[in-house]
Structure 1
């Protein structure tokens, strides 16, 4: 029954993407099929094999060690405060972002990351049928983040037509930056985080190939990566540390605001309609949860968490998932995969602002297709969760 539902879920995802396609005749079905097969193979290896268990265990262990190093700095600055239960989330989940951001800066400065990202992107471009720029951008987004990635290709931003710009922005919204992966692993199962990271990379190309199909000519298929070399090492390090701190504080501020607002709206709905706002959204998203392979009796609870991610952000949704007691282990795993992406309304403003800072006209274009970005990125999450449901 689970397999049958998952197959129906795949059909639903592809039909929803096909309905929004800007050029159905240009869809390259062969590339889509190859990437879908790769998704299934990678999901099987990661979830159901000893090799996948070893890889995920190693990945999680690395982040666990890095977070332990981060806690040394946090403990030095905040002392006993960092051990208090009431502030545990801020210090144990958000503050390590500062240290991870510093490490990313060092890898960027030494040109290790640009080299790795560029050549992984080139290999991916052979598989997905898209340009080198799109492939580079997808890999870079998964490491640098949805704002920083555009700086690395700023020379080409102003020259891109709307359809290629959409693909770049959709990739940035469908992935998550490596600086906050450690934070996710503190909130949900590390296996689900790794599975989502891998599946979303290919899922972003699959959905973009349906919603926004096009061909890149040989003349257009160029890649110019901007690497900052003017700064000294310590200037760079200070900048990345402050960037990480800003991300941590911004996420914390958004959590305060969104959790409080959702609590207020839930209270209003409960007093007026006898049902909370999140429960109402749960009924709206329940059909999608069902086709993802989630049992009927758990679809409303799962749908509520999925909707929370869309209207607030993934951190708020992960907090709600952690508090949930009525969901089975399999459902928690599938929903966890769905949550690992930047597909929410606030991301549209972040991405549009990042592009506008580099090229004002292009930033306005991004803002105009904001809803389409959320639609496509949400389908990527839905696809990844559905594929993972075959193996959890």
Structure 2
């Protein structure tokens, strides 16, 4: 049954992408097929083999140690509050982002990270049917995040046509930044965080190839990555510490606003219709939850979490998932978990268009214009990742 559902999910996802495609005759089936196979292979390795178990244990163990080191700094500043068993979300989940940001800064400063990102981008460009810039941007988005990544390609922004800009933005919205991986791993099983990170990378290329197919000439496909101004080591440390803190504060502020807003809407909606707004959305998303492999008895609960992520953000949805996870099957928890690991939500439209506008106002306006189509594509990426995970569980 799950194989039939998987095929149905592929048909639904690809059909939805095809309907909004801006060049239906230009869709290249070969790279789509290759990357779909790669997704299946990586999903199987990560979720069903000893090799995958070793990889996941290694990565999650690394982040576990990093979070412990981060806790030392948090405990020093906040007087051990985080050690009393009832530390607030801000201390346990968001503050470690500061330390992870510092490590990314160090890797960037010693030129290790740029080499890795460029190498992976070059390898991906051989199979994804897109340009080297798009491939670089996808890997860089998974490291730096959906807004910061555009700084590294700001020299190219004025010259990028709309179709290439769309692909860059799709990658940025479909992935998550390395600095918050540790935060996710405190909320959902690390194996689903890692699996989603890998699958979304290929999924972004698959959906972009259907919605937004195009050819890139050699003359157009030039990577001229913007290097940051030369800083001393301690200037760099200060910058990345503050950047990490800003991310934590921004996420915290968004959580306060969204959780409070959803709570108010639920109350008003329930008073009028006798059902919460989130539950109503759960029924709307239930068919999508079913088609990606979630058992029929749990599709409304799953649809509610999926809708919450789309309307607010992944952190709010992960908190809600944690509240009901014990009442759901492990299969459902796994599928929902991978769906949540991306930046595909309405607020990201403003974040990405704002980031691009800060570097080039004209291109920022272009991004805002295709914002809904961008969110649509990134959500299809999450659904594809969920469907592939469903066939493996």
What TM-score results when the alignment is normalised by the length of structure 1? 0.99
Displacement of 1:106: 0.7
Residue in structure 1 matched with residue 307 of structure 2 by the alignment: 307
| Matches of 1:360 and 1:273, distance apart in 2 | 43
Residue in structure 1 matched with residue 130 of structure 2 by the alignment: 130
Count of equivalent residues? 392
| Matches of 1:77 and 1:326, distance apart in 2 | 37
Given that 1:109 and 1:229 are in contact with CA atoms closer than 8 Å, whether structure 2 keeps it comes out as no
- Segments of 5+ residues of structure 1 without an aligned counterpart are none
Cα distance per residue 1:10-57 (max 9 Å; x no partner): 111000000110000110001100000000011001100000000001
4+ long deviations beyond 6 Å: none
Cα distance per residue 1:157-176 (max 9 Å; x no partner): 11100000000011000000
Residue in structure 1 matched with residue 78 of structure 2 by the alignment: 78
| Matches of 1:224 and 1:388, distance apart in 2 | 36
Displacement of 1:111: 1.0
Given that 1:298 and 1:326 are in contact with CA atoms closer than 8 Å, whether structure 2 keeps it comes out as no
| Matches of 1:109 and 1:149, distance apart in 2 | 16
Residue in structure 1 matched with residue 331 of structure 2 by the alignment: 330
| Matches of 2:5 and 2:236, distance apart in 1 | 50
What TM-score results when the alignment is normalised by the length of structure 2? 0.99
Structure 1 segment 215-254 matched on structure 2, within 5 A = 215-254=215-254
Residue in structure 2 matched with residue 203 of structure 1 by the alignment: 203
Partner-residue secondary structure (3-state), 1:158: helix
Residue in structure 2 matched with residue 163 of structure 1 by the alignment: 163
Given that 1:141 and 1:175 are in contact with CA atoms closer than 8 Å, whether structure 2 keeps it comes out as yes
| Matches of 1:129 and 1:301, distance apart in 2 | 38
Residue in structure 2 matched with residue 115 of structure 1 by the alignment: 115
**RMSD (CA atoms):** 0.8
Partner-residue secondary structure (3-state), 2:159: coil
Structure 1 segment 143-154 matched on structure 2, within 5 A = 143-154=143-154
- Segments of 5+ residues of structure 2 without an aligned counterpart are none
Given that 1:32 and 1:206 are in contact with CA atoms closer than 8 Å, whether structure 2 keeps it comes out as yes
Residue in structure 2 matched with residue 377 of structure 1 by the alignment: 378
Cα distance per residue 1:313-332 (max 9 Å; x no partner): 00000000000143211000
| Matches of 2:181 and 2:294, distance apart in 1 | 25
| Matches of 1:94 and 1:168, distance apart in 2 | 27
Partner-residue secondary structure (3-state), 2:127: helix
Partner-residue secondary structure (3-state), 1:203: helix
| Matches of 1:86 and 1:347, distance apart in 2 | 31
| Matches of 2:111 and 2:158, distance apart in 1 | 25
